[in-house]
């Protein structure tokens, strides 16, 4: 009997280097996972989102759900890799309602 377990993909994926690499996470759960990590982030703290494309839809959802609560700073923005530093500026009160993901076929 195999007693090895694997961590679910919904675990917090922010490493000690503050990088959350979501390039290999299925689009169907990636968006919600990132939103949850934003919600749980302490005010004043940040993480660096590493993705294979520009997460414009995510930025729109964050700013629409939590106006002026997060800073969004591009650290790298090229065809194969995008890195965004997301900093929580103020507390937020609730997670946004789940929406269908829109990864543009990615």
70 strand-pairing partners: 88
pLDDT at 6 over 60: no
pLDDT at 83: 97
Q: Which long-range contacts (CB under 8 A, 24 or more apart) does 97-106 make?
A: 98/32, 99/31, 99/61, 101/27, 101/28, 101/30, 101/31, 101/32, 102/31, 102/57, 103/27, 103/30, 103/31, 103/57, 104/53, 104/57, 106/27, 106/52, 106/53
| Architecture of the domain whose range is 19-88 | 2-Layer Sandwich (3.30)
pTM of this structure = 0.81
pLDDT tens for each residue of 21-74:
999 999 888 988 999 999 999 999 999 999 999 999 999 999 999 999 999 999
* Candidate from 8-12, 13-17, 51-55, 93-97 with smallest mean pLDDT: 8-12
Is the pLDDT at 80 greater than 70? The verdict is: yes
The pLDDT value recorded for residue 14 is 80
Higher per-residue pLDDT: 92 or 2:
92
């Amino acid at each position: 009997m195999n007693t090895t377990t694997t961590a679910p993909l919904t675990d917090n994926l922010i490493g000690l280097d503050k990088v959350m690499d979501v390039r290999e996470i299925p689009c169907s759960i990636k968006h919600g996972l990132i939103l949850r990590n934003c919600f749980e982030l302490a005010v004043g703290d940040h993480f660096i989102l590493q993705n294979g494309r520009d997460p414009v839809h995510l930025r729109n959802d964050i700013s629409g759900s939590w106006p002026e609560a997060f800073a969004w700073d591009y650290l790298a923005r090229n065809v194969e890799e995008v890195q965004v530093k997301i900093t929580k500026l103020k507390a937020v009160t609730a997670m946004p309602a789940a929406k269908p993901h829109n990864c543009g076929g990615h």
